Amino acid sequence: MGSGASASAKDDASKLLGDKLLKGSEEIDVSKAFEGKKAVALYFSAHWCPPCRGFTPQLAEFYKKDLAEKGLEVVFVSSDRDEASFKEYYAEQPWLALPYSARDKKDQLSKKYKIEGIPSLVIINPEDGSLITKDGRSAVMRDPTGTKLPWIPPTFQESLPEQFLSGTGTVGKDAIAGKTLGLYFSAHWCPPCRSFTPQLAEWYKGIKGELGDKFEIIFCSGDRDESSMKSYYEEQCKAGGDWLCLPFDKKDDLDPLFQVRGIPTFIIVSPEGKVINQSGRGLVPSAKASDFPWNPPTIGDLESPDGINETPSMCLFLESCSKDVQEQIMQAVTPIAKEYTEKDEPELIFFAATKTGSIASQIRGMCGLESADKLAKDDVRSEEKGPKLVRTFSSDTPTLVLMDIPDNGGYYVGRMARELDGSGVKKMIEDWKAKTLERKQLS
Protein backbone atom coordinates (compact mmCIF):
# COMPACT_ATOMS: atom_id res chain seq x y z
CA MET A 1 0.00 0.00 0.00
CA GLY A 2 2.87 2.36 0.78
CA SER A 3 4.49 1.80 -2.62
CA GLY A 4 1.14 2.40 -4.32
CA ALA A 5 0.79 5.74 -2.56
CA SER A 6 4.35 6.61 -3.54
CA ALA A 7 3.71 5.71 -7.19
CA SER A 8 0.56 7.78 -7.17
CA ALA A 9 2.42 10.75 -5.69
CA LYS A 10 5.10 10.40 -8.39
CA ASP A 11 2.45 10.32 -11.10
CA ASP A 12 0.76 13.45 -9.71
CA ALA A 13 4.06 15.31 -9.37
CA SER A 14 5.16 14.31 -12.87
CA LYS A 15 1.91 15.58 -14.35
CA LEU A 16 2.44 18.90 -12.60
CA LEU A 17 6.18 19.39 -12.99
CA GLY A 18 7.51 16.86 -15.49
CA ASP A 19 10.05 14.14 -14.71
CA LYS A 20 13.03 16.32 -13.80
CA LEU A 21 13.73 19.37 -11.66
CA LEU A 22 16.90 21.38 -11.27
CA LYS A 23 18.87 21.29 -8.04
CA GLY A 24 21.54 23.87 -8.62
CA SER A 25 23.31 22.87 -11.83
CA GLU A 26 22.15 19.24 -11.66
CA GLU A 27 18.91 17.49 -12.52
CA ILE A 28 17.01 15.30 -10.05
CA ASP A 29 14.03 13.00 -10.46
CA VAL A 30 10.71 14.45 -9.39
CA SER A 31 10.02 11.08 -7.72
CA LYS A 32 12.80 11.83 -5.19
CA ALA A 33 12.42 15.60 -4.89
CA PHE A 34 9.70 15.67 -2.24
CA GLU A 35 10.49 12.63 -0.13
CA GLY A 36 9.77 13.37 3.53
CA LYS A 37 8.38 16.84 2.79
CA LYS A 38 5.29 18.25 4.49
CA ALA A 39 4.60 20.83 1.80
CA VAL A 40 5.87 22.20 -1.50
CA ALA A 41 5.96 25.92 -2.27
CA LEU A 42 5.74 26.83 -5.95
CA TYR A 43 7.56 30.16 -6.19
CA PHE A 44 6.41 32.17 -9.21
CA SER A 45 8.99 34.91 -9.62
CA ALA A 46 11.29 36.68 -12.08
CA HIS A 47 14.63 38.50 -12.14
CA TRP A 48 13.09 41.66 -13.66
CA CYS A 49 10.43 42.04 -10.91
CA PRO A 50 11.50 44.40 -8.07
CA PRO A 51 9.05 42.97 -5.47
CA CYS A 52 10.38 39.50 -6.30
CA ARG A 53 13.95 40.57 -5.77
CA GLY A 54 12.91 42.04 -2.43
CA PHE A 55 11.11 38.89 -1.27
CA THR A 56 13.54 36.24 -2.58
CA PRO A 57 16.38 36.97 -0.08
CA GLN A 58 13.88 36.89 2.80
CA LEU A 59 12.43 33.57 1.68
CA ALA A 60 15.92 32.15 1.14
CA GLU A 61 16.97 33.15 4.66
CA PHE A 62 13.86 31.54 6.20
CA TYR A 63 14.32 28.43 4.04
CA LYS A 64 17.95 27.86 4.98
CA LYS A 65 17.49 28.66 8.65
CA ASP A 66 14.28 26.75 9.48
CA LEU A 67 11.81 25.93 6.71
CA ALA A 68 13.79 23.28 4.82
CA GLU A 69 14.50 21.42 8.04
CA LYS A 70 10.83 21.68 9.08
CA GLY A 71 9.70 19.98 5.86
CA LEU A 72 9.19 22.65 3.19
CA GLU A 73 10.54 22.30 -0.33
CA VAL A 74 10.48 25.26 -2.73
CA VAL A 75 10.33 25.05 -6.53
CA PHE A 76 11.19 28.20 -8.49
CA VAL A 77 8.80 28.66 -11.44
CA SER A 78 10.38 31.35 -13.59
CA SER A 79 8.67 34.19 -15.43
CA ASP A 80 12.02 35.43 -16.74
CA ARG A 81 12.16 36.52 -20.37
CA ASP A 82 15.16 34.41 -21.38
CA GLU A 83 17.18 31.50 -20.08
CA ALA A 84 20.25 33.61 -19.28
CA SER A 85 18.20 35.78 -16.89
CA PHE A 86 16.67 32.63 -15.39
CA LYS A 87 20.11 31.13 -14.73
CA GLU A 88 21.47 34.33 -13.21
CA TYR A 89 18.45 34.66 -10.89
CA TYR A 90 18.31 30.97 -9.96
CA ALA A 91 22.00 31.07 -8.97
CA GLU A 92 20.90 33.26 -6.03
CA GLN A 93 18.34 30.69 -4.83
CA PRO A 94 18.95 27.66 -2.55
CA TRP A 95 16.04 25.41 -3.64
CA LEU A 96 14.77 23.51 -6.67
CA ALA A 97 13.63 24.94 -9.99
CA LEU A 98 11.44 23.97 -12.90
CA PRO A 99 13.74 23.86 -15.96
CA TYR A 100 13.37 27.03 -18.02
CA SER A 101 12.70 24.94 -21.12
CA ALA A 102 9.51 23.53 -19.52
CA ARG A 103 7.45 26.56 -20.57
CA ASP A 104 4.38 24.39 -21.14
CA LYS A 105 4.52 23.16 -17.53
CA LYS A 106 4.98 26.72 -16.30
CA ASP A 107 1.87 27.82 -18.20
CA GLN A 108 -0.12 24.85 -16.90
CA LEU A 109 0.88 25.60 -13.31
CA SER A 110 -0.02 29.28 -13.69
CA LYS A 111 -3.43 28.31 -15.03
CA LYS A 112 -4.08 25.54 -12.49
CA TYR A 113 -3.32 27.75 -9.49
CA LYS A 114 -4.73 30.95 -11.09
CA ILE A 115 -1.58 33.02 -10.76
CA GLU A 116 -2.37 36.70 -11.33
CA GLY A 117 0.95 38.34 -10.55
CA ILE A 118 4.41 37.82 -9.11
CA PRO A 119 5.91 37.19 -6.66
CA SER A 120 3.43 34.47 -5.78
CA LEU A 121 4.04 31.59 -3.40
CA VAL A 122 1.55 28.73 -3.68
CA ILE A 123 1.66 26.00 -1.04
CA ILE A 124 0.59 22.55 -2.27
CA ASN A 125 0.38 19.02 -0.92
CA PRO A 126 3.43 17.02 -2.12
CA GLU A 127 1.32 13.86 -2.33
CA ASP A 128 -1.28 14.97 -4.85
CA GLY A 129 -0.62 18.59 -5.82
CA SER A 130 -3.80 19.77 -4.10
CA LEU A 131 -3.82 23.40 -3.03
CA ILE A 132 -3.18 24.21 0.62
CA THR A 133 -3.06 27.99 0.27
CA LYS A 134 -2.43 30.50 -2.51
CA ASP A 135 -1.30 33.06 0.04
CA GLY A 136 2.01 31.42 0.89
CA ARG A 137 3.78 34.77 1.15
CA SER A 138 1.58 35.84 4.06
CA ALA A 139 1.89 32.42 5.67
CA VAL A 140 5.70 32.58 5.52
CA MET A 141 5.91 36.15 6.77
CA ARG A 142 3.61 35.38 9.71
CA ASP A 143 5.45 32.17 10.56
CA PRO A 144 9.03 32.34 9.18
CA THR A 145 10.23 29.47 11.38
CA GLY A 146 7.56 27.07 10.10
CA THR A 147 5.93 26.38 13.46
CA LYS A 148 2.54 25.94 11.74
CA LEU A 149 3.82 24.31 8.54
CA PRO A 150 2.09 23.30 6.17
CA TRP A 151 -0.03 26.37 6.95
CA ILE A 152 -3.44 24.86 6.37
CA PRO A 153 -5.79 27.87 6.49
CA PRO A 154 -8.20 27.90 9.42
CA THR A 155 -11.87 27.40 8.75
CA PHE A 156 -14.19 30.39 8.79
CA GLN A 157 -15.38 29.59 12.31
CA GLU A 158 -11.79 29.13 13.53
CA SER A 159 -10.90 32.56 12.10
CA LEU A 160 -13.66 34.35 14.00
CA PRO A 161 -12.93 35.88 17.41
CA GLU A 162 -14.86 35.00 20.55
CA GLN A 163 -15.76 38.68 20.98
CA PHE A 164 -16.63 41.45 18.49
CA LEU A 165 -16.66 45.19 19.07
CA SER A 166 -20.22 46.50 18.95
CA GLY A 167 -20.35 50.27 19.26
CA THR A 168 -18.64 51.07 22.56
CA GLY A 169 -19.19 47.56 23.93
CA THR A 170 -18.63 43.97 22.91
CA VAL A 171 -20.77 40.98 21.91
CA GLY A 172 -20.02 37.27 21.61
CA LYS A 173 -20.03 34.94 18.61
CA ASP A 174 -23.69 34.19 19.21
CA ALA A 175 -24.47 37.68 17.83
CA ILE A 176 -23.82 36.42 14.30
CA ALA A 177 -25.14 32.87 14.65
CA GLY A 178 -27.23 31.90 11.63
CA LYS A 179 -26.80 35.30 9.94
CA THR A 180 -25.72 36.11 6.42
CA LEU A 181 -22.71 38.40 6.74
CA GLY A 182 -21.22 41.31 4.87
CA LEU A 183 -17.46 41.43 5.43
CA TYR A 184 -16.20 44.98 4.95
CA PHE A 185 -12.43 45.22 4.44
CA SER A 186 -11.50 48.87 4.74
CA ALA A 187 -9.09 51.33 6.37
CA HIS A 188 -9.05 54.90 7.62
CA TRP A 189 -6.00 55.85 5.48
CA CYS A 190 -7.66 54.68 2.22
CA PRO A 191 -9.46 57.51 0.32
CA PRO A 192 -11.75 55.18 -1.72
CA CYS A 193 -12.75 53.50 1.56
CA ARG A 194 -13.64 56.80 3.19
CA SER A 195 -15.73 57.67 0.16
CA PHE A 196 -17.55 54.32 0.10
CA THR A 197 -18.17 53.98 3.85
CA PRO A 198 -20.97 56.62 4.11
CA GLN A 199 -22.75 55.03 1.12
CA LEU A 200 -22.50 51.61 2.75
CA ALA A 201 -23.76 52.98 6.09
CA GLU A 202 -26.79 54.63 4.44
CA TRP A 203 -27.62 51.44 2.54
CA TYR A 204 -27.17 49.34 5.69
CA LYS A 205 -29.60 51.48 7.67
CA GLY A 206 -32.37 50.84 5.16
CA ILE A 207 -31.59 47.17 4.60
CA LYS A 208 -31.20 46.36 8.30
CA GLY A 209 -34.63 47.75 9.09
CA GLU A 210 -36.23 45.29 6.67
CA LEU A 211 -34.01 42.25 7.24
CA GLY A 212 -33.65 42.44 11.01
CA ASP A 213 -31.56 39.58 12.39
CA LYS A 214 -30.98 37.92 9.02
CA PHE A 215 -28.02 40.12 8.10
CA GLU A 216 -25.01 41.73 9.76
CA ILE A 217 -21.88 43.53 8.59
CA ILE A 218 -18.44 43.00 10.16
CA PHE A 219 -15.77 45.66 9.71
CA CYS A 220 -12.37 44.02 9.06
CA SER A 221 -9.86 46.80 9.52
CA GLY A 222 -6.74 47.39 7.48
CA ASP A 223 -5.65 50.22 9.77
CA ARG A 224 -2.08 50.39 10.98
CA ASP A 225 -2.74 50.94 14.66
CA GLU A 226 -5.58 50.32 17.08
CA SER A 227 -6.39 53.98 17.71
CA SER A 228 -6.90 54.61 13.97
CA MET A 229 -9.12 51.54 13.72
CA LYS A 230 -11.28 52.62 16.66
CA SER A 231 -11.54 56.18 15.37
CA TYR A 232 -12.62 54.95 11.95
CA TYR A 233 -15.09 52.49 13.47
CA GLU A 234 -16.59 55.32 15.51
CA GLU A 235 -17.09 57.32 12.30
CA GLN A 236 -18.85 54.33 10.76
CA CYS A 237 -21.23 53.99 13.70
CA LYS A 238 -22.07 57.71 13.65
CA ALA A 239 -22.83 57.50 9.92
CA GLY A 240 -25.37 54.75 10.58
CA GLY A 241 -23.06 51.78 10.16
CA ASP A 242 -23.60 50.46 13.66
CA TRP A 243 -22.30 47.06 12.63
CA LEU A 244 -19.71 44.83 14.31
CA CYS A 245 -15.93 45.12 14.20
CA LEU A 246 -13.13 42.57 14.51
CA PRO A 247 -10.80 43.28 17.46
CA PHE A 248 -7.48 44.80 16.38
CA ASP A 249 -5.48 41.64 17.15
CA LYS A 250 -7.85 39.64 14.90
CA LYS A 251 -8.27 42.22 12.14
CA ASP A 252 -6.21 40.36 9.52
CA ASP A 253 -7.43 36.83 10.22
CA LEU A 254 -10.09 36.78 7.48
CA ASP A 255 -7.95 38.34 4.71
CA PRO A 256 -6.20 35.13 3.55
CA LEU A 257 -9.38 33.08 3.80
CA PHE A 258 -11.11 35.33 1.27
CA GLN A 259 -7.97 36.30 -0.66
CA VAL A 260 -8.52 40.02 -0.17
CA ARG A 261 -6.13 41.87 -2.49
CA GLY A 262 -7.29 45.46 -2.18
CA ILE A 263 -9.63 47.75 -0.30
CA PRO A 264 -12.40 48.68 -0.01
CA THR A 265 -13.73 45.14 -0.45
CA PHE A 266 -17.24 44.09 0.55
CA ILE A 267 -18.07 40.37 0.41
CA ILE A 268 -21.39 38.66 1.20
CA VAL A 269 -20.98 35.25 2.86
CA SER A 270 -23.28 32.60 4.30
CA PRO A 271 -23.37 31.87 8.06
CA GLU A 272 -20.86 29.08 7.32
CA GLY A 273 -18.51 31.48 5.53
CA LYS A 274 -19.23 30.36 1.97
CA VAL A 275 -18.97 33.26 -0.47
CA ILE A 276 -22.37 34.29 -1.86
CA ASN A 277 -21.29 37.44 -3.66
CA GLN A 278 -17.65 38.46 -4.06
CA SER A 279 -18.69 41.82 -5.51
CA GLY A 280 -20.71 43.26 -2.66
CA ARG A 281 -19.65 46.83 -3.49
CA GLY A 282 -21.83 46.63 -6.57
CA LEU A 283 -24.89 46.14 -4.35
CA VAL A 284 -24.58 49.62 -2.86
CA PRO A 285 -26.73 51.66 -2.94
CA SER A 286 -29.41 50.03 -5.11
CA ALA A 287 -29.77 46.41 -3.90
CA LYS A 288 -33.09 45.76 -2.18
CA ALA A 289 -33.96 43.65 0.82
CA SER A 290 -36.35 41.70 -1.39
CA ASP A 291 -33.33 40.34 -3.33
CA PHE A 292 -31.57 39.07 -0.18
CA PRO A 293 -29.07 37.33 0.04
CA TRP A 294 -28.02 39.00 -3.23
CA ASN A 295 -26.72 36.06 -5.22
CA PRO A 296 -24.87 37.39 -8.27
CA PRO A 297 -26.71 37.02 -11.60
CA THR A 298 -25.94 33.92 -13.63
CA ILE A 299 -24.75 36.18 -16.44
CA GLY A 300 -22.92 39.16 -14.98
CA ASP A 301 -22.51 42.68 -16.29
CA LEU A 302 -19.33 42.95 -18.36
CA GLU A 303 -18.71 46.37 -16.80
CA SER A 304 -18.07 44.58 -13.48
CA PRO A 305 -16.19 41.48 -14.66
CA ASP A 306 -15.15 40.06 -11.30
CA GLY A 307 -13.28 36.81 -11.79
CA ILE A 308 -12.38 37.34 -15.45
CA ASN A 309 -8.64 37.34 -14.64
CA GLU A 310 -8.87 34.05 -12.72
CA THR A 311 -11.50 32.03 -14.62
CA PRO A 312 -12.20 31.51 -18.34
CA SER A 313 -15.12 33.80 -19.24
CA MET A 314 -17.75 33.75 -22.00
CA CYS A 315 -18.51 37.36 -22.97
CA LEU A 316 -21.64 38.21 -24.96
CA PHE A 317 -21.44 41.50 -26.88
CA LEU A 318 -25.05 42.59 -27.25
CA GLU A 319 -24.71 46.40 -27.31
CA SER A 320 -26.08 46.80 -30.83
CA CYS A 321 -29.00 44.41 -30.32
CA SER A 322 -32.51 45.60 -29.59
CA LYS A 323 -33.86 45.10 -26.06
CA ASP A 324 -36.11 42.28 -27.30
CA VAL A 325 -33.17 40.46 -28.90
CA GLN A 326 -31.03 40.96 -25.80
CA GLU A 327 -33.78 39.49 -23.63
CA GLN A 328 -34.21 36.51 -25.96
CA ILE A 329 -30.48 35.78 -25.92
CA MET A 330 -30.17 36.13 -22.16
CA GLN A 331 -33.08 33.74 -21.59
CA ALA A 332 -31.54 31.19 -23.96
CA VAL A 333 -28.02 31.37 -22.53
CA THR A 334 -28.93 31.49 -18.82
CA PRO A 335 -29.62 27.71 -18.48
CA ILE A 336 -26.29 26.99 -20.21
CA ALA A 337 -24.47 29.38 -17.88
CA LYS A 338 -26.07 27.84 -14.79
CA GLU A 339 -24.44 24.50 -15.57
CA TYR A 340 -21.09 26.19 -14.94
CA THR A 341 -21.64 29.08 -12.54
CA GLU A 342 -23.49 27.15 -9.85
CA LYS A 343 -20.46 24.95 -9.14
CA ASP A 344 -18.19 25.74 -6.17
CA GLU A 345 -15.25 26.10 -8.59
CA PRO A 346 -16.75 27.26 -11.91
CA GLU A 347 -14.94 26.08 -15.01
CA LEU A 348 -16.42 29.01 -16.91
CA ILE A 349 -18.21 32.24 -15.97
CA PHE A 350 -20.46 34.44 -18.11
CA PHE A 351 -20.80 38.16 -18.78
CA ALA A 352 -22.88 40.26 -21.15
CA ALA A 353 -22.49 43.80 -22.48
CA THR A 354 -25.98 45.20 -23.10
CA LYS A 355 -24.86 48.79 -23.61
CA THR A 356 -21.68 50.59 -24.54
CA GLY A 357 -19.25 50.71 -21.63
CA SER A 358 -15.58 51.21 -20.89
CA ILE A 359 -14.76 47.56 -20.10
CA ALA A 360 -16.67 46.23 -23.11
CA SER A 361 -14.91 48.77 -25.34
CA GLN A 362 -11.55 47.84 -23.84
CA ILE A 363 -12.09 44.13 -24.52
CA ARG A 364 -13.29 44.89 -28.06
CA GLY A 365 -10.09 46.82 -28.64
CA MET A 366 -7.87 44.14 -27.09
CA CYS A 367 -9.48 41.49 -29.28
CA GLY A 368 -9.46 43.56 -32.48
CA LEU A 369 -13.25 43.84 -32.71
CA GLU A 370 -15.11 46.82 -34.15
CA SER A 371 -16.37 49.25 -31.53
CA ALA A 372 -20.05 49.16 -30.65
CA ASP A 373 -20.37 52.83 -31.67
CA LYS A 374 -18.99 52.07 -35.13
CA LEU A 375 -21.29 49.10 -35.49
CA ALA A 376 -24.26 51.27 -34.58
CA LYS A 377 -23.27 53.94 -37.13
CA ASP A 378 -22.63 51.38 -39.86
CA ASP A 379 -25.88 49.58 -39.13
CA VAL A 380 -28.20 52.59 -39.45
CA ARG A 381 -29.75 53.11 -42.88
CA SER A 382 -30.79 56.55 -44.01
CA GLU A 383 -34.44 57.55 -43.55
CA GLU A 384 -34.84 57.71 -47.33
CA LYS A 385 -34.07 54.01 -47.64
CA GLY A 386 -36.50 52.94 -44.95
CA PRO A 387 -36.47 52.42 -41.16
CA LYS A 388 -33.33 52.07 -39.11
CA LEU A 389 -32.08 48.48 -39.24
CA VAL A 390 -29.29 46.65 -37.47
CA ARG A 391 -27.03 44.53 -39.63
CA THR A 392 -27.48 40.77 -39.50
CA PHE A 393 -23.77 40.72 -38.57
CA SER A 394 -24.33 42.35 -35.19
CA SER A 395 -27.93 41.80 -34.19
CA ASP A 396 -28.93 38.38 -35.48
CA THR A 397 -25.55 36.82 -34.71
CA PRO A 398 -23.87 38.92 -31.98
CA THR A 399 -20.19 38.48 -31.20
CA LEU A 400 -18.99 36.02 -28.56
CA VAL A 401 -15.55 36.21 -27.00
CA LEU A 402 -14.26 33.48 -24.72
CA MET A 403 -11.55 35.16 -22.66
CA ASP A 404 -9.10 32.66 -21.19
CA ILE A 405 -6.76 35.05 -19.39
CA PRO A 406 -5.50 32.30 -17.05
CA ASP A 407 -4.16 30.56 -20.18
CA ASN A 408 -1.46 33.20 -20.58
CA GLY A 409 -3.90 35.69 -22.14
CA GLY A 410 -5.66 33.48 -24.67
CA TYR A 411 -9.00 34.34 -26.27
CA TYR A 412 -11.41 32.97 -28.88
CA VAL A 413 -13.94 34.78 -31.08
CA GLY A 414 -17.28 33.32 -32.22
CA ARG A 415 -20.86 34.20 -33.08
CA MET A 416 -24.30 33.42 -31.75
CA ALA A 417 -26.34 31.04 -33.91
CA ARG A 418 -28.98 32.81 -36.01
CA GLU A 419 -31.69 31.03 -34.05
CA LEU A 420 -30.56 32.88 -30.89
CA ASP A 421 -31.35 29.69 -28.97
CA GLY A 422 -27.98 29.41 -27.24
CA SER A 423 -26.74 26.68 -29.57
CA GLY A 424 -23.91 28.90 -30.80
CA VAL A 425 -22.70 29.44 -27.24
CA LYS A 426 -22.94 25.74 -26.45
CA LYS A 427 -21.08 24.79 -29.64
CA MET A 428 -18.32 27.32 -28.94
CA ILE A 429 -17.80 25.93 -25.42
CA GLU A 430 -17.69 22.36 -26.75
CA ASP A 431 -15.11 23.33 -29.38
CA TRP A 432 -13.06 25.21 -26.76
CA LYS A 433 -12.97 22.12 -24.56
CA ALA A 434 -12.04 19.98 -27.56
CA LYS A 435 -9.27 22.49 -28.42
CA THR A 436 -10.57 22.91 -31.98
CA LEU A 437 -11.11 26.69 -31.78
CA GLU A 438 -8.52 29.09 -33.17
CA ARG A 439 -6.65 30.46 -30.17
CA LYS A 440 -5.70 34.11 -30.31
CA GLN A 441 -3.25 35.88 -28.01
CA LEU A 442 -3.74 39.15 -26.13
CA SER A 443 -0.78 41.40 -26.73
Provide mean pLDDT across the span 250-273: 90
- Domain assignment present for residue 151? The answer is no
My answer on whether 236 and 361 are in the same domain is: no
Query: How far is CA 399 from each of CA 360, 380, 392, rounded to the nearest angstrom?
Result: 12, 18, 11
In a domain, 149, yes or no: no
Q: Does some domain include residue 147? A: no
Residues 179 and 272 in one domain: yes
Phi, psi angles (nearest 5°) of residue 402 = -100, 105
Q: Could you read off the pLDDT of 162-204 as tens digits, one per residue?
A: 999 999 999 999 999 999 999 999 999 999 999 999 999 999 9
Indicate whether 284 and 310 sit together in one domain: no
Q: Give domain status of residue 177, yes or no.
A: yes
Q: State pLDDT tens for residues 38-62.
A: 999 999 999 999 999 999 999 999 9
Residue 205 has pLDDT above 90, yes or no: yes
Q: Indicate whether 22 belongs to any domain.
A: yes
Contacts of 442 (CB under 8 A, 6+ apart): 366, 367, 405, 409, 410, 411
> Is 391 contained in some domain?
yes
Query: Of 249, 275, 291, at which residue does a domain stop?
Result: 291
Last residue of a domain, one of 291, 318, 349: 291
Q: Is residue 174 part of a domain?
A: yes
Same domain, 163 and 284: yes
Structural contact between residues 306 and 297, judged by C-beta atoms closer than 8 angstroms = no
Whether 386 has a pLDDT exceeding 50, the answer reads: no
Cross-strand bridge partners of residue 133? 123
Task: Indicate whether 325 and 409 sit together in one domain.
Answer: yes
Same domain flag for 172 and 264: yes
pLDDT of residue 276: 92
* 392 to 231, 319, 441: CA distances (angstroms): 59, 14, 27
- Flag whether pLDDT at 4 surpasses 80: no
Same-domain status, 69 and 120 = yes
What stretches of 290-322 show up as alpha helix (H) in DSSP?
none
Structural domains counted in the chain: 3
Percentage with pLDDT > 90 across the chain: 71
The confidence band for 14, taking pLDDT boundaries of 50, 70 and 90, is low
Q: Are residues 283 and 308 in the same domain?
A: no
Q: List, in order, residues 6 or more apart from 287 with CB less than 8 Å away.
A: 203, 207, 294
Same domain, 120 and 236: no
Alpha helix ranges (H) inside 308-421: 323-341, 358-366, 372-379
pTM for this entry: 0.72
Domain shared by 258 and 284, yes or no: yes
Among 113, 142, 171, the domain-final residue is: 142
Residue 253 clears pLDDT 50, i.e. is over it: yes
Same domain assignment for residues 319 and 365: yes
What's the pLDDT tens digit per position in 281-303?
989 999 999 999 999 899 999 99
* 50 shares a domain with 100: yes
- Is residue 393 predicted with pLDDT exceeding 70? no
Out of 12-26, 57-71, 190-204, which region has the weakest mean confidence (pLDDT)?
Answer: 12-26
Asked if residue 148 belongs to a domain, the reply is no
Q: What is the mean predicted confidence (pLDDT) over 369-380? A: 58
Residues of the domain holding 316? 299-441
Which CATH number do you get for residue 327?
A: 3.40.30.10
